[in-house]
């Protein structure tokens, strides 16, 4: 399912859409405060933000601007009762991808959201593999929606494993492909870096769920 973060202080609308969206493969997560929305975006992965303008704490246009600056590859749809042309112009100026005025038919909103997600998906800046989601723009990997705390070398090696699922990746290939490995201090081998990755994703060396050691060669991401 595509994950949608809705910033909306009208509980009636958010409750309605939470019931309606799953029929169309959309999972809605609703918050009412901009500060909570920004916090969630910093630790979880979403496919689109659905944003009201009349919010507490700060105006929705300012929130739109902040989100787009921090997450340029994250699409934003404005959903609001404010239908003035001036608001629409400013919304698009600060990064909104679409603007729909209330009241609206939920099916139309779903269609707009699906079209935008499809359009963004054509630009491959993200990769989904099992429990993991790679955001190449932010250089982050999430596990079940939670951003992993990875060094640059860990990020690049694990990204390589994920994108070469079921393929053996040799240590030589890693060294030749990933500059960040050379930036690690000399006493930290690739094996040590992979060990740190395993610890952070909850994998075990003896009975691996994700990363399997190939003796004398390297590693293979086996997935689930």
State the average pLDDT over residues 152-159: 91
Report, as an integer, the average pLDDT of 147-162: 92
> How do residues 156-182 score in pLDDT, each as one tens digit?
999 999 988 888 888 888 887 777 666
Q: Is 112 helix (H, G, I), strand (E, B) or coil?
A: helix
In whole angstroms, give the CA distance from residue 27 to residue 82.
Answer: 25
Residues 20-42, mean pLDDT to the nearest whole number: 93
pLDDT tens string 88-113: 999 999 999 999 999 999 999 999 99
Res 186 pLDDT > 90: no
pTM for this prediction: 0.58
Q: CA 143 to CA 95: how far, in whole Å?
A: 28
- Domain residue spans of the chain: 2-123, 127-221
Mean of pLDDT values over 26-30: 94
CATH 3.40.640.10 fits 127-221, yes or no: no
For the structural domain made of 2-123, what CATH number should be given? 3.40.50.2300
What distance in Å separates the CA atoms of residue 126 and residue 120, rounded to the nearest whole number? 10
């Amino acid at each position: 399912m595509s994950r949608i973060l809705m910033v909306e202080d009208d509980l009636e609308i958010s409750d309605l859409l939470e019931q309606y969206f799953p029929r169309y493969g959309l999972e809605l997560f609703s918050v009412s405060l901009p500060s909570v929305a920004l916090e969630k975006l910093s630790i979880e992965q979403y496919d689109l933000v659905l944003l009201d303008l009349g919010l507490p704490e700060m105006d929705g246009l300012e929130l739109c601007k902040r989100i787009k600056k921090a997450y340029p590859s994250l699409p934003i749809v404005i959903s609001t009762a404010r239908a003035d042309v001036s608001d629409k112009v400013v919304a698009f100026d600060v990064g909104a991808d679409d603007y729909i005025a209330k009241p609206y038919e939920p099916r139309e909103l779903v269609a707009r959201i699906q079209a935008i997600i499809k359009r963004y998906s054509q630009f491959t800046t993200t990769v989904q593999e099992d429990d993991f989601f790679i955001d190449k723009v932010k250089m982050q990997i999430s596990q079940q929606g939670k951003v992993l705390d990875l060094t640059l070398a860990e990020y690049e090696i694990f990204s390589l494993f994920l994108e070469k699922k079921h393929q053996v990746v040799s240590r030589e290939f890693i060294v030749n492909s990933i500059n960040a490995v050379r930036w690690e201090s000399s006493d930290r081998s690739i094996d040590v870096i992979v060990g740190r990755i395993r610890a952070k994703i909850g994998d075990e060396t003896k009975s691996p769920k994700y990363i399997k050691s190939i003796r004398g060669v390297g590693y293979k991401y086996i997935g689930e």
